């Protein structure tokens, strides 16, 4: 049975699912909602998405929602598991995956901030979060050492978007965080991560930011958003 993902082309949460599918070498189809459909979801999407959000995964006539749940399902139906075998370590991974979701939201608010105060607040949230991760990471290069895990798929979209922002405006977010920087670099270089996004993601992401707000447009796109 072919798995069918429905998302928006810039969504970092669907990227986590795609990375997992690619790591498992599973077949899937993906359909992207347009920006207009994302803002005003069509009835067919509201019927299958309880929160009206992406991504959702269609498994036959069954719909799964929430990206963490989708990732877990994909992991469970195709061996070997991308979770640690030790129950405590597995639970710890899940806890830090949840932490990563909050960081992704801070990163989104930082990238689309309407003013300097909001930008600084969310940049500080990212800085604090990465500093916290620095204290719990080991020798790497990945979260659990040398083996790729579900938590790595979970964080890769964050690091990819931070790299895009860094290319437009120096953030210094990795300063004095060698373990986090090494982890981020290892994930960005992985083929399944590179192949998990649309062609031209960086340009489309910056264009999205440019239209998000005047402040974000000037900071990261160096342009005035079109009206």
Domain chopping of the chain, boundaries: 3-77, 87-194
Chain segment 164-219, per-residue pLDDT in tens: 999 898 889 999 999 999 999 999 999 999 999 999 999 999 999 999 889 998 99
6: enclosing H helix or E strand: strand 3-8
Cα distances (Å, whole numbers) of residue 203 to 57, 65, 206: 27, 28, 5
pLDDT of residue 227 exceeding 50: no
87-194: CATH architecture: Up-down Bundle (1.20)
| CA end-to-end span of the chain | 45
Q: How confident is the model at residue 224 (pLDDT cuts 50, 70, 90)?
A: very low
Q: What are the beta bridge partners of residue 57?
A: 5, 64
57: enclosing H helix or E strand: strand 56-59
Chain segment 82-132, per-residue pLDDT in tens: 999 999 999 999 999 999 999 999 999 999 999 999 999 999 999 999 999
With H, G, I as helix, E, B as strand and everything else as coil, classify residue 54. Answer: coil
Written out in words, the top-level CATH class of the domain with range 3-77 is alpha beta
Cα separation, 74 vs 72, whole angstroms: 5
Edge-first strand order for the sheet with 56-59 is: 28-33, 3-8, 56-59, 62-65
Find out whether 44 and 37 touch, Cβ atoms under 8 Å. Answer: no
pTM: 0.94
Find out whether 142 and 149 touch, Cβ atoms under 8 Å. Answer: yes
Residue 194 burial by CB count (10 A; 0-12/13-18/19+): exposed, middle or buried? middle
Q: How confident is the model at residue 2 (pLDDT cuts 50, 70, 90)?
A: confident
């Amino acid at each position: 049975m072919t798995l069918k993902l429905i998302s928006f082309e810039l969504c970092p949460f669907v990227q986590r699912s795609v990375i997992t599918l690619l790591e498992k070498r599973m077949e899937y189809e993906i359909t992207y909602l347009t920006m207009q459909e994302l803002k005003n979801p069509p009835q067919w999407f509201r019927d299958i998405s309880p929160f009206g959000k992406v991504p959702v995964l269609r498994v036959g006539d069954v719909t799964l929602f929430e990206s963490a749940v989708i990732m877990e399902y994909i992991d469970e139906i195709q061996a070997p598991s991308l979770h640690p075998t030790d129950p405590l370590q597995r639970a710890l991974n899940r806890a830090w995956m949840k932490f990563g979701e909050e960081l992704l939201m801070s990163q989104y608010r930082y990238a689309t901030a309407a003013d300097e105060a909001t930008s600084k607040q969310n940049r500080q949230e990212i800085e604090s979060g990465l500093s916290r991760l620095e204290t719990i990471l080991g020798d790497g290069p990945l979260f659990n050492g040398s083996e790729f895990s579900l938590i790595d798929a979970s964080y890769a979209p964050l690091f990819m978007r931070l790299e895009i922002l860094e290319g437009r405006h120096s953030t210094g977010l990795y300063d004095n965080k060698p373990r986090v920087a090494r982890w981020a670099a290892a994930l960005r270089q992985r083929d399944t991560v590179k192949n998990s996004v649309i062609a031209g993601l960086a340009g489309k992401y910056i264009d999205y930011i440019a239209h998000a707000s005047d402040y974000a447009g000037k900071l990261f796109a160096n342009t005035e958003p079109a009206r």
